[in-house]
Amino acid sequence: MPKFKPLQSNLCQTPVFYYDADAPLTDLHECATQRCNAARDLMYSITCLGFSQIDDKDLRHFSTAAWLLLQDGCDVLAAIGWKMERAASH
């Protein structure tokens, strides 16, 4: 597995954003947790608003930001899983 892996949230042909798959598990976990918590907090903010109070454009902005954060978090969680599988097989 390459040391730096592109995040799946890269929507262009040439990936720009990468993560270090060889980073310590604690750092990977912290990164994934930070992104998942930020996405959770964004979604919570939306639930606190009534849908009559939010513009369609704003809802799209919230959902896009939440998707990016969750996708990045899931990519890093997958790296944690790969590292744990490698450690268990040795």
Reported as half-sphere exposure (CB side, CA atoms, 13 A), residue 62 has a value of 17
User: Could you tell me which residue, 7 or 1, shows the higher pLDDT?
Assistant: 7
The CA-based diameter of the chain, rounded to the nearest angstrom, is: 56
- List, in order, residues 6 or more apart from 12 with CB less than 8 Å away: none
pTM as predicted: 0.85
Number of Cβ atoms within 10 Å of the Cβ of 79 = 22
Pairwise CA distance, residues 80 & 88, whole Å = 12
**Domain boundaries of the chain, sorted by first residue:** 24-43+56-90
Q: Range with the lowest mean pLDDT among 8-12, 37-41, 45-49, 65-69? A: 45-49
